[in-house]
């Protein structure tokens, strides 16, 4: 398991986990696994997506999600703790805007007229920053529900599958995005309230990366941006880590071409395989590729350590991530102290 | 590939029991595409993190070294890519890439899109100095030009149009390679010109313009209702800024719309080739499928699919099951056997290769006749022109 199993901080009071990552690093998978991990500790969790991809529905093998909270899974039973439920919500800007208008302005006829004039379309696709205010506003609404909201479901934790690392600070820094545009007014007030939650200790932004140069560099840049915007950085979650089937000495030998071919031949015979030169060649060549990759990973891992934030690692699952795989990753996140 | 003639001739997708048979995709001849003087624009599109930018740069470099005069327009601000082309900083002007050329007489320039500068330049070139100043200083314009996530798409298309027009005039380039923005929706850049046009023609703009233009007769009951609602939501100040902006921008809109439509038809023309880039992962291939369907719908010329980061095929015939069983037998004899480790690695690789091959075959069955090239993953990152050359030859050999 990970050498850094213990976390230096207690994250049990965190209410909103924002998960970001460069494209291709598996941020949606990690967000889903984190939601399951939190549920396994007995929490009721809401997993939100904001990018219109319906990735949650696919991962959990359920029908496409509407703009409505749906129960999709339960955490793993963990000793005496009875697991919580995971609900999912697909947030789209247009539904969020209509809900917002209905809730706060009771617009009625004017609300429908807005649509007719193409203003809903304008607000959700063209007006700068408004879209992000709407998406984050809905997350805020779910996080801030309390006993006063009759009938509304309350959650112990919310996991947000957020936009990628390159856009995350802009996305969360909603009032920064609106600055200069809306200096006063209701939209500005809304953005300010949302920011208060995002900057509080109740929020953490986790960054998913793989151990390659560009994603690690982007993670470092992302952390710097988040810190500049005073947004709380959580963990770096290293995903798709290659298997560790070879020890240090064997890796060295594989890289320098010094693997003991006679020993390998004898071992393969002992394992009752038909040994050919081609087989030994192929295994040695594969080992060299693997050793190169591991060397790259080790170098990048040092850079990740220098980022000075808690880290967790998840393996690459050779068969891809199905629901069983998600639970496996969830258990690993829990063991490493992320839930 | 022998099947290519047959598959490309079929016009309708196959239905019924035959669809279950494994469809080998015809192979994409990258060098023929690059050498074809009729190819004037290559657009690389696909979801984030599939290596679009590296693919664009590698294609551009390969084309240049095969004698084309190439400019590559990238959107990704990856410093490493700039460095790999020997340029410290890419900016809004094409810069020559040193060390490219050789006997074939080609050349390579590279530029990175600066969306705000591109937008500013359009304003400056279209309006009188005073008018331009009032637009550039407007808070609504500043927000729109710098932070709106769709602006990048509009501006990428704008810049493509500009470079193309210039190249037509002075012959500076005969091939433009475009790397599309890592959009929230991978299709945004196709929709951008259309969306801009319909927005500019829409009632909302006229509504915003109405009070600025004065005549009270336009202030019908409906309009009053709307402006009141907007004031309530946005606040009066935002609405005022927007009105000022729209009024100042009004005269520019015609030009904008015209150019957006021109770029769109440029993309539809024969000289353009779209390459859809993916990785052998379900999400990336799903995005690639959207792209292929969308490009076909819009009658955009699709050249083929690039599957990046594929695991190298297994060179020897030892199945996953055999390797795993043999590894288990060895571990029983010697707990930390290195050979057992090698066998487990082989099994892991075998599983991944099989899974990727399965995903690719399914994709090819669902989208028959899309020429495909498969690029094996490098075990290290690309740092220099030689790295890009290596990617380029993998693209051509796939």
ipTM: 0.88
Is A101 in the B-facing interface, judged by CB distances under 8 Å?
Answer: yes
Residue A186 to residue B139, Cβ atoms within 8 A: no
**Binary contact (A214, B233; C-beta < 8 A):** no
pLDDT over threshold 50, residue B5? no
- Look at chain A and count its residues: 339
- At B334-372, the pLDDT tens digits run 988 999 999 999 999 999 999 999 999 999 999 999 999
Percent of chain B predicted with pLDDT > 70:
79
Tokens of B389: 């050359």
Do B234 and A114 lie within an 8 Å CB cutoff?
A: no
pLDDT value, residue B398? 79
Answer whether residue B327 shows pLDDT above 90. Answer: yes
Q: Is B149 within 8 Å of A167 when comparing Cβ atoms?
A: yes
Q: Is residue A253 part of a domain?
A: no
Question: Among partner residues B226, B237, B351, which is closest to A114 by beta-carbon distance?
Answer: B226
Is the CB of A213 less than 8 angstroms away from the CB of B279?
no
Average pLDDT on A142-170 reads 85
In a domain, A274, yes or no: no
State residue A278's pLDDT score. 94
Tell me which chain B residues have a C-beta less than 8 angstroms from the C-beta of A220: none
CA distance A111 to chain B (A): 8
pLDDT band, very low/low/confident/very high, at B141 (cuts 50, 70, 90) = confident
Could you tell me how far CA B265 lies from the centroid of its own chain? 17
% chain A with pLDDT above 90: 65
pLDDT for residue B277 is more than 60: yes
- Any idea what the CATH number is for the domain that residue A124 is in? 3.40.50.300
> Considering the domain boundaries, does residue B5 fall inside one?
no
Q: How many domains does chain A have?
A: 1
CB B226 to CB A22 under 8 A?
A: no
In a domain, A2, yes or no: no
Query: Per the domain annotation, does B278 fall within a domain?
Result: yes
Residue A181 tokens read as: 């545009």
Q: Is residue A26 part of a domain?
A: yes
d(CA A29, CA A19): 10
DSSP B95: E
pLDDT at B214 over 70: no
Interface test with B, best of A27, A117, A259 (most B CBs within 10 A): A117
Yes or no: say if B323 and B346 are a contact pair by the CB < 8 Å rule. Answer: yes
| Region B306-316 average pLDDT | 90
Taking 60 as the threshold, does the pLDDT of residue B76 lie above it? yes
Residue B9 lies in a domain: no
Amino acid B33: pLDDT: 97
Determine the residue among A169, A174, A286, A292 to mutate to test chain B binding: the one whose Cβ has the most chain B Cβ atoms within 10 Å.
A286
User: Chain B: nearest CA to A289, how far in angstroms?
Assistant: 7
Which residues 59-98 on chain A approach chain B with CB closer than 8 angstroms?
A: none
Model confidence pLDDT, tens digit, residues B85-96: 777 777 788 989
- Per-residue pLDDT band at B153 (split at 50, 70, 90): confident
Which A residues in the span 158-177 are in contact with B, Cβ-Cβ below 8 Å? 163-164, 166-167, 170, 177
Q: Is residue A290 part of a domain?
A: no
Average pLDDT of the segment spanning B325-334: 94
B274 falls in which pLDDT band (50, 70, 90)?
very high
Share of chain B above pLDDT 90, in %: 40
Specify the pLDDT at position B144: 74
pLDDT of residue A5: 40
Minimum-distance CB partner of B140 among A55, A181, A273: A181
3-state class of B182 per DSSP? coil
Q: Contact A107/B229, CB-based, under 8 Å? A: yes
SS3 A24: coil
For residue A270, the chain B residues in CB contact (below 8 A) are 329-330, 333
Neighbours of A34 (CB within 10 A): 28
Please determine, for residue B395, whether its predicted confidence score (pLDDT) is greater than 50.
yes
Strands A157-161 and A311-315: what pairing? Answer: unpaired
Which residues fall within 8 angstroms of residue B117, CB to CB, at 6 or more apart? B92
Confirm or reject contact between A275 and chain B (CB < 8 A).
Answer: no
Q: The domain spanning residue B213 has which CATH number? A: 3.40.50.300
Name the residue with higher pLDDT: B226 or A70.
A70
Among A257, A250, A243, A249, smallest CA distance to A293 is for: A243
Give contacts of A263 with chain B, Cβ < 8 Å: 338-339
Q: Does A184 touch chain B (CB under 8 A)?
A: yes
Does any domain span residue A101?
A: yes
pLDDT for A2:
40
Output phi, psi for A322, to 5 deg: -105, -170
Q: How far apart are CA B152 and CA B189, in angstroms?
A: 8
119-158 in chain A: CB under 8 A from chain B: 119, 121-122, 125-129, 131
Domain for residue B20, yes or no?
A: no
Contact criterion met (CB < 8 Å) for B330 and A267: yes
Do A52 and B149 lie within an 8 Å CB cutoff? no
In a domain, A264, yes or no: no
Per-residue model confidence (pLDDT) at position B288 = 92
Pick B339's closest partner by Cβ from A129, A170, A267.
Answer: A267
> Which residue among A186, A250, A273 places its CB closest to the CB of B341?
A250
Q: Is A318 in Cβ contact with B351 (below 8 Å)?
A: yes
Asked whether residue B19 is domain-assigned, the answer is no
- Retrieve residue A156's tokens: 């112990």
Compute CA distances B360 → A168, B293, B305, B346, whole Å. Answer: 32, 17, 11, 21
- As a whole-number percent, the residues of chain A with pLDDT over 70 amount to 87
Q: What strand order describes the sheet that includes B95-96?
A: B95-96, B107-112, B69-74, B175-179, B41-45, B272-278, B302-310, B372-376
By DSSP bridging, strand B69-74 and strand B175-179 are: parallel
Helices (H), chain A: 27-40, 55-59, 93-104, 109-116, 119-121, 130-143, 165-172, 174-178, 186-198, 213-228, 248-256, 261-270, 277-306, 323-335
> Among A210-214, A298-302, B225-229, whose mean pLDDT is lowest?
B225-229
The answer to whether residue A113 is domain-embedded is: yes
Terminal alpha carbon distance of chain B = 12
Closest chain B residue to the Cα of A292, Cα to Cα: B379
Of B184, B235, B333, the CB nearest to A163: B184
Nearby residues of B131 by Cβ (< 8 Å), 6 or more positions away: B248, B251
Of B144, B282, B337, the CB nearest to A128: B144
| Position B139 confidence tier, pLDDT thresholds 50, 70, 90 | confident
Across B225-243, average pLDDT: 73
Across B221-248, average pLDDT:
72
Residue A339 contacts by C-beta under 8 Å, 6 or more apart in sequence?
Answer: A34, A37, A38, A40, A41, A330, A333
Check whether A45 has a pLDDT greater than 90. yes
Cβ within 8 Å, pair B80-A214 = yes
Number of helices and strands in chain B (H, E): 16, 8
Residues of the domain holding B76: 25-397
Q: Structural domain tally of chain B?
A: 1
Q: Which domain holds residue A52?
A: 16-243+299-335
What number is the average pLDDT over the span B155-169? 88
pLDDT of residue A66: 92
Rounded to the nearest integer, the mean pLDDT of chain B is: 82
**pLDDT tier for residue B21 given thresholds of 50, 70 and 90:** very low
Domain-located, residue B18 = no
Q: How far apart are CA B24 and CA B4, in angstroms?
A: 9
State pTM to two decimals: 0.88
Token couple for B12: 């309708």
Residues in B closer than 8 angstroms to A101, CB to CB, are 233
Characterise A86 by phi-psi region: left (phi > 0), alpha (psi -120 to 50), beta (else).
Answer: beta
Nearest to B391 by CA among B73, B49, B47, B84: B84
């Amino acid at each position: 398991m990970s050498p850094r199993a213990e976390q230096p901080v207690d994250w049990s009071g965190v209410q909103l986990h924002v998960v970001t990552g460069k494209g291709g690093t598996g941020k949606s998978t990690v967000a889903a696994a984190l939601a399951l991990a939190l549920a396994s500790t007995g929490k009721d969790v809401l997993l939100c997506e904001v990018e219109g991809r319906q990735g949650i529905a696919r991962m959990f093998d359920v029908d496409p999600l509407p703009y409505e909270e749906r129960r999709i899974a339960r955490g793993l039973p963990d000793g005496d703790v009875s697991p919580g439920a995971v609900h999912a919500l697909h947030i789209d800007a247009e539904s969020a805007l209509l809900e917002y208008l209905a809730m706060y302005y009771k617009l009625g006829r004017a609300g429908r007229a807005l649509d007719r004039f193409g203003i809903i379309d304008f607000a959700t696709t063209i007006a700068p920053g408004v879209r992000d205010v709407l998406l984050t506003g809905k997350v805020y609404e779910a996080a801030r529900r309390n006993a006063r909201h009759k009938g509304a479901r309350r959650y112990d934790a919310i996991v947000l599958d957020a936009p990628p690392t390159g856009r995350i600070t802009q996305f969360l820094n909603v009032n920064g995005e609106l600055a200069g545009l809306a200096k006063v007014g209701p939209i500005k007030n809304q953005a300010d309230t949302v920011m208060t939650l995002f900057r509080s200790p109740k929020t953490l932004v986790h960054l998913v990366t793989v151990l390659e140069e560009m994603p690690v560099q982007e993670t470092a840049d992302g952390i710097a941006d988040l810190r500049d915007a005073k947004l709380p950085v959580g963990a770096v979650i290293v995903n798709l880590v290659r298997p560790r089937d070879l020890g240090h000495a064997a890796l060295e030998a594989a890289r320098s071409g010094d693997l003991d071919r006679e020993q390998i031949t004898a071992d393969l015979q002992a394992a009752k395989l038909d040994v050919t030169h081609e087989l030994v060649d192929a295994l040695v060549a594969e080992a060299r590729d693997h050793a190169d990759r591991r060397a790259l990973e080790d170098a990048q891992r040092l850079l990740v350590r220098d980022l000075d934030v808690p880290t967790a690692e998840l393996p690459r699952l050779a068969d891809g991530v199905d629901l069983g795989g998600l639970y496996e990753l969830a258990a690993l996140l829990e063991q490493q102290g992320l839930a | 590939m022998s099947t290519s003639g047959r598959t490309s001739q079929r016009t309708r997708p196959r239905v019924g029991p035959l669809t279950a048979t494994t469809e080998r995709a015809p192979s994409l001849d990258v060098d023929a595409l690059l050498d074809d003087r009729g190819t004037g624009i290559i657009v690389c599109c696909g979801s984030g993190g599939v290596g679009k930018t590296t693919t664009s740069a590698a294609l551009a470099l390969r084309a240049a070294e095969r004698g084309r005069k190439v400019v590559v327009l990238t959107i990704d601000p990856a410093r490493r890519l700039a460095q790999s082309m020997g340029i410290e900083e890419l900016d809004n002007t094409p810069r020559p890439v040193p060390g490219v050329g050789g006997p074939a007489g080609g050349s390579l320039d590279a530029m990175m899109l600066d969306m705000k500068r591109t937008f500013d330049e359009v304003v400056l070139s279209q309006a009188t100095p005073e008018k331009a100043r009032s637009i550039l200083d407007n808070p609504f314009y500043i927000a729109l030009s710098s932070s709106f996530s769709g602006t990048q798409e509009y501006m990428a298309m704008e810049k493509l149009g500009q470079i193309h027009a210039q190249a037509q005039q002075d012959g500076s380039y005969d091939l433009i390679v475009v790397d599309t923005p890592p959009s929230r929706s991978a299709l945004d850049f196709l929709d951008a010109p259309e969306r801009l046009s319909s927005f500019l023609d829409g009632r909302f703009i006229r509504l915003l313009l109405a009070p600025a233009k004065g005549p009270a007769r336009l202030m019908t009951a409906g309009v009053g209702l709307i402006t009141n609602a907007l004031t309530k939501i946005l606040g009066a100040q935002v609405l005022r800024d927007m009105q000022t902006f729209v009024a100042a921008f009004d005269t520019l809109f015609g030009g904008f719309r015209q150019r957006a439509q021109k770029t769109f038809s440029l993309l539809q023309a024969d000289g353009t080739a779209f390459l859809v880039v993916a990785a052998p992962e379900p999400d990336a291939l799903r995005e690639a499928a959207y792209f292929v369907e969308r490009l076909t719908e819009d009658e955009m010329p699709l050249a083929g699919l690039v599957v990046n980061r594929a695991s190298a095929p297994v060179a020897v015939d030892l199945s996953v099951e055999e390797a795993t069983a043999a590894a288990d037998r060895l571990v029983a004899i010697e707990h930390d056997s290195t050979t057992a480790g090698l066998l487990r690695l082989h099994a892991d690789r075998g599983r991944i290769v099989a899974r990727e091959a399965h995903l690719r075959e399914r994709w090819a069955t669902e989208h028959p006749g899309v020429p495909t090239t498969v690029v094996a993953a490098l075990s290290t990152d690309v740092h220099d022109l030689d790295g890009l050359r290596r990617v380029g030859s993998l693209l051509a050999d796939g």
